[in-house]
Amino acid sequence: MRVVLLVAALAALVATLPTPTAAQSQLPPGQPFATATTHRVHSTILGGERRITIRLPAEYAAEPERRFPVVYLLDGGPQQDFEHIAGIAQSREMNASFAPFILVGIESVNRRHELSPPVVDHAPYQASLRAVPGGSARYRDFLRDELKPMIAASLRTSGEDAVMGESLAALFVVETLFEEPALFDDYIAISPSLWWEQMKYPREAADRFARFPAGERRLYLTVANEGDWHREGMERLVDVLREAAPPGLQWIYVPVGDSETHGTLFHPMALDAFRTLYGTPTREYKAERLIGGRAPLERSAEEQARMDAPCTRDTAWRTTPGAAAAGRDRLYYRCLLYDLGPLAREGNLRR
């Protein structure tokens, strides 16, 4: 009888407890997570407002005296290529595989007009692209005369600038290198549309390079499994670079036709470009016993000297992860700059 009464009492108590509702089983209100800031800037040259999205590296706030290079990303609107490239920029704050930079995304409004060079006959381009080509010169004016001065006046920039784009935007990168090479220090062309005007720019490359102004510049080129003139145009440009690259122009060509398509290569090759141009050195340390390493040993005099030496891109020993794995003892505490990612086919630019 006592057991029955106890069960009845417990049942009555449970009945008085609040029943979980659907609202209680859902997530509580959250907070937006912002990784960048978008600004609307007026352009007299382009005639209207443009959205510019900026991501600052973590070091920008942590090191208030430090200045940073700027990477200008074409097609860089929030709904374009900005977010995934910003993710790559953030990843270096976890792995330190390349140096920090300010990312400036420039939203395109009519990219097939704005970023395209002039043509002889508009008709076939208008039929295929549904846009009138030839806006690249004005877009360069906007970058030179309006946007770059605004960024330099507003942020702690180092004066080292890069321009980056994919496909038609990469053609703009190559055309800018030819037309106004001093506008940027680094040119990142991911699968440039070098088929344009029956491969005009590769055909003109030798003459352009013969008249190239003095100065140090770098060019990163890559192409995937592309259409015929897309690949042919790249090979023709590389032929000229191989034989007649102007003094001061360092270049590298990293084809990935065996592993990427035109639609997939931007993200992985953007990472490769950043590692190539801005790669940071690291050191090789002895493994802890917990993960299979030998018992820690005191550093030898040679190892201590390596540890005490400056570790910069200029002093680093260049190697690959595979070469390092073949014999680590010789590398302990040495300053290393790893050649990460796909292997370059050719060029005079050392990673």
- Residue 135, domain member (yes or no): yes
Task: Using pLDDT thresholds of 50, 70 and 90, give the confidence band for residue 23.
Answer: low
Confidence of residue 97 (pLDDT cuts 50, 70, 90): very high
Q: For 190-241, what is the HEC assignment?
A: ECCCCCHHHHHHHHHHHHHHHCCCCCCEEEEEECCECCHHHHHHHHHHHHHH
CA pair distance 238, 174, nearest whole angstrom = 12
Determine the angle formed by the axes of helices 266-278 and 82-95, rounding to 10 degrees.
Answer: 50
Same-domain status, 140 and 262: yes
CA atoms within 13 A on the CB side of 270: 27
On whether residue 17 sits in a domain, the answer given is: no
Residue 47 lies in a domain: yes
Same domain, 164 and 308: no
Contact call for residues 265 and 222 (beta carbons, < 8 A): yes
Residues 297, 227 share a domain: no
Q: What's the whole-number mean pLDDT along residues 105-119?
A: 93
User: Residue 20 pLDDT > 70, yes or no?
Assistant: no
Query: Mean pLDDT for the chain?
Result: 90
Q: What is the pLDDT of residues 135-179, one digit of tens each?
A: 999 999 999 999 999 999 999 999 999 999 999 999 999 999 999
Whichever domain contains 244, its CATH number is: 3.40.50.1820
Q: Is residue 87 part of a domain?
A: yes
Residue scoring higher pLDDT (10 or 195):
195
Q: How confident is the model at residue 293 (pLDDT cuts 50, 70, 90)?
A: confident
- Distance, in Å, from the CA atom of 135 to the CA atom of 282, rounded to the nearest integer, reads 44
* Residue numbers of the domain that contains 307: 282-341
Residues 127 and 46 in one domain: yes
Please list the residues that pair with 37 across neighbouring strands: 54
pLDDT band at 303 (very low <50, low <70, confident <90, very high): confident
Same domain, 94 and 222: yes
Same domain, 76 and 139: yes
Token couple for 59? 């070091």
**Could you tell me the pLDDT band of residue 14, with boundaries at 50, 70 and 90?**
very low
Q: Tell me: pLDDT of 7 over 70.
A: no
Clarify whether residues 245 and 97 are in a common domain. Answer: yes
- The partner residues of 104 in beta bridges, in order of sequence, read 54, 72
Task: Tell me which of 278, 309, 331 is where a domain ends.
Answer: 278
Band the pLDDT of 127: cuts 50, 70, 90.
confident
Band the pLDDT of 296: cuts 50, 70, 90. low
**Residue 24 pLDDT grade (very low, low, confident, very high; cuts 50, 70, 90):** low
Does some domain include residue 220? yes
**What six digits make up the tokens of 313?**
């891109």
Is the domain of 192 the same as that of 242? yes
278 CB-near residues (< 8 Å, 6+ apart): 69, 98, 99, 101
Number of domain units in the chain: 2
pLDDT at 121: 87
3-state secondary structure of 329: helix
| Domain end point (choices 278, 298, 330) | 278
Degrees (nearest 5) of the Cα angle 192, 212, 173? 20
pLDDT 10s digits, 230-275: 899 999 999 999 999 999 999 999 999 999 999 999 999 999 999 9
pLDDT digits (tens, 9 = 90+) for 204-232: 999 999 999 999 999 999 999 988 888 99
Where is average pLDDT lowest: 1-5, 32-36, 184-188? 1-5
Q: Do 180 and 286 sit in the same domain of this protein?
A: no
Q: Does 251 share its domain with 288?
A: no
Q: What would the mean pLDDT of 314-336 be, rounded to a whole number? A: 88
Q: What digits encode the pLDDT tens for the residues 75-85? A: 999 999 999 99
Query: 3-state SS of the chain: helix, strand, coil percent to 5?
Result: 40, 20, 40
> Do 266 and 313 reside in the same domain of the chain?
no
Domain assignment of residue 236, yes or no: yes
Per-residue confidence at 295, pLDDT binned at 50, 70, 90?
low
Residue 305 is inside which H or E element, if any? helix 301-308
Residue 63 lies in a domain: yes
Is there a single domain that holds both residue 189 and residue 58? yes
194 — alpha (psi -120 to 50), left (phi > 0) or beta?
A: alpha
Domain presence at residue 22: no
* Mean of pLDDT values over 305-309: 90
Domain boundary residue among 243, 259, 278? 278
The C-alpha atoms of residue 247 and residue 71 are separated, in whole angstroms, by: 24
In sequence order, the β-bridge partners of residue 74 are: 106
